[in-house]
């Protein structure tokens, strides 16, 4: 915990400077400020990348007025902190370091002591599937469930996943992982997408072309899928796990694992940042598709400049893209999905997405919004009323 009662050398130095300033600008008979009266004007966030000025609003929350272009972690952290966790609001600045970090990543302080091989996770899923699902559940359905668990654990690039205790995997899968309607809808959605894509249960390049090209996905993206950047080596045919990863990334672009996936797709030369010349190749394919349906898009240089200004840099590293997933999903869509790119631009002007979430009653990520429109009875009732 941070407390003003324990003054550091820097605090004393600042107070000394304040006193000198007061002595030079006020009459000698005026009383100087005491140590007790000098307080920092805002709650300090340990995530600050700059020193923003903060002002207190009517509802006692703090808003940063920093113009820093690094995603403004300070503002997001301060907004996300539960004020009930601040030990003493009357004191000058008490804020839990753990609270601020956990707002950015809820798993940041979760102990992960054991490396659990993927085969062990697969065995745990089989045990829970026998208790939860019918005996005739397709093997592809189970494989998608496994890959989704590994995707959420951000361990698809490794041969193991980190867990607190080996037994917690079975407990999680049996209690939440396979029973919640959200995850079942996601698995079912992905399963039927793969059925539509495949021909005789085969996911080759031609099948992927035929399905995705007419849906606004550039052919250059499909080419990259088979070059070994998101699979184990170059492939002629994708397996169920690899095809499901593409669906996860395509419909959930605001997830950290998805951002890593697309970064691998776009970082052709392994530079550690996204090169403009390769992004332009994908963008030109998006523009061609939009032109076919009568929509004119901006030139690549204009789009790149616009997104660079939003991201705060012209060097798009993985760290930069992960700082603000809600912004990154709009950036990525410009190079991965012509129809989604057009939808985002339209929705942003019309506030359609925001109004949809407000009407539904909660703010949702890309996957939840997609699944709610596909499965939730709320939208069935809305369609009937219309």
The pLDDT of 26-39, averaged and rounded, is 43
pLDDT bracket for residue 77 (50, 70, 90): very low
Angle at 259 between CA 165 and CA 375, to 5 degrees: 80
- List, in sequence order, every beta strand (DSSP E) within the chain: 54-56, 62-64, 114-117, 160-163, 203-204, 237-238
The pLDDT of residue 41 is 36
The pLDDT of 47-53, averaged and rounded, is 36
**Contact partners, residue 204, CB within 8 Å, separation at least 6:** 236, 237, 238
The pLDDT of 200-205, averaged and rounded, is 87
pLDDT of residue 349 exceeding 70, the answer is no
Positive or negative, the Cα torsion across 112, 114, 119, 123? negative
The pLDDT of 166-173, averaged and rounded, is 76
Q: Which secondary-structure segment (H or E) carries 157?
A: none
265 vs 114, higher pLDDT: 265
Identify the bridge partners of residue 238 per DSSP, sorted by sequence position: 203
The pLDDT of residue 174 is 76
pLDDT of residue 205 exceeding 50, the answer is yes
The pLDDT of residue 357 is 76
pLDDT of residue 91 exceeding 80, the answer is no
Q: Of the ranges 98-107, 135-144, 150-159, which one carries the lowest mean pLDDT score?
A: 98-107
pLDDT bracket for residue 25 (50, 70, 90): very low
73 vs 255, higher pLDDT: 255
pLDDT of residue 362 exceeding 80, the answer is no
Q: Of the ranges 137-146, 332-341, 361-370, which one carries the lowest mean pLDDT score?
A: 361-370
* Domains assigned to the chain: 9-104 (no CATH), 117-385 (1.10.238.10)
Q: What is the dihedral of CA 65, 364, 335, 299, to 10 degrees?
A: -50
The pLDDT of 71-85, averaged and rounded, is 42
Give the pLDDT confidence of 51-72 residue by residue, as tens digits. Answer: 333 333 444 433 333 333 334 4
Identify the bridge partners of residue 55 per DSSP, sorted by sequence position: 63
Give the pLDDT confidence of 258-291 residue by residue, as tens digits. Answer: 999 999 999 998 899 999 999 999 999 999 999 9
238 vs 45, higher pLDDT: 238
The pLDDT of 209-227, averaged and rounded, is 93
Average pLDDT in the chain: 74
The pLDDT of residue 131 is 84
Identify the bridge partners of residue 117 per DSSP, sorted by sequence position: 160
The pLDDT of residue 158 is 85
pLDDT bracket for residue 190 (50, 70, 90): very high
The pLDDT of residue 63 is 38
101 vs 80: CA distance, rounded Å: 10
The pLDDT of residue 348 is 66
Give the pLDDT confidence of 10-24 residue by residue, as tens digits. Answer: 444 444 444 444 444
Q: What percent of the chain has pLDDT over 70?
A: 67
pLDDT bracket for residue 314 (50, 70, 90): very high
Q: DSSP characters for 191-225?
A: HHHHHHH-BTTBEEHHHHHHHHGGGT--HHHHHHH
């Amino acid at each position: 915990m941070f407390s003003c009662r324990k003054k550091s050398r820097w605090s004393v130095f600042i107070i000394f400077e304040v006193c000198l300033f007061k002595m030079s600008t006020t009459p000698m008979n005026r009383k100087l400020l005491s140590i007790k009266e000098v307080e920092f004007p805002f709650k300090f966030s340990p995530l600050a990348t700059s020193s923003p000025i903060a002002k207190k609003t009517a509802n006692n929350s703090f808003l940063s007025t920093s113009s820093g272009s690094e995603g403004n972690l300070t503002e997001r952290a301060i907004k996300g902190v539960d004020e009930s966790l601040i030990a003493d609001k009357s004191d000058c600045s008490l804020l839990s370091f753990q609270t601020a970090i956990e707002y950015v990543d809820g798993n940041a302080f979760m102990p992960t002591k054991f490396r659990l091989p993927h085969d062990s996770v697969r065995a745990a899923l089989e045990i829970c599937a026998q208790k939860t699902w019918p005996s005739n559940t397709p093997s592809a359905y189970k494989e998608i469930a496994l890959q989704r668990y590994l995707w959420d654990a951000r361990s698809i690039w490794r041969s193991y996943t980190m867990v607190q205790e080996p037994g917690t995997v079975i407990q999680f899968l049996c209690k939440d992982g396979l029973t919640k309607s959200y995850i079942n809808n996601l698995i079912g959605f992905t399963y039927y997408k793969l059925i539509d894509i495949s021909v005789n249960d085969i996911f080759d390049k031609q099948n992927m072309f035929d399905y995705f090209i007419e849906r606004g996905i550039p052919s250059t993206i499909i080419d990259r899928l088979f070059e070994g950047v998101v699979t184990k080596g170059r492939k002629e045919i994708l397996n169920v796990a690899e095809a499901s990863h593409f669906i996860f990334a395509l419909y959930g672009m605001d997830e950290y694992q998805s951002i890593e996936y697309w970064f691998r797709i776009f970082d052709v030369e392994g530079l550690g940042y996204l090169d403009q010349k390769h992004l332009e190749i994908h963008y030109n394919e998006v523009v061609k598709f939009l032109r076919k349906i009568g929509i004119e898009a901006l030139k690549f240089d204009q789009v790149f400049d616009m997104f660079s200004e939003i991201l705060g840099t012209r060097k798009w590293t993985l760290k930069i893209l992960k700082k603000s997933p809600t912004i990154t999903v709009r950036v990525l869509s410009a190079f991965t999905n012509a129809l989604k790119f057009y939808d985002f631009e339209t929705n942003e002007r019309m506030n359609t997405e925001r109004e949809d979430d407000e009407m539904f009653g909660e703010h949702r990520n890309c996957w939840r919004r997609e699944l709610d429109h596909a499965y939730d009875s709320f939208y069935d009732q809305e369609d009937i009323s219309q």
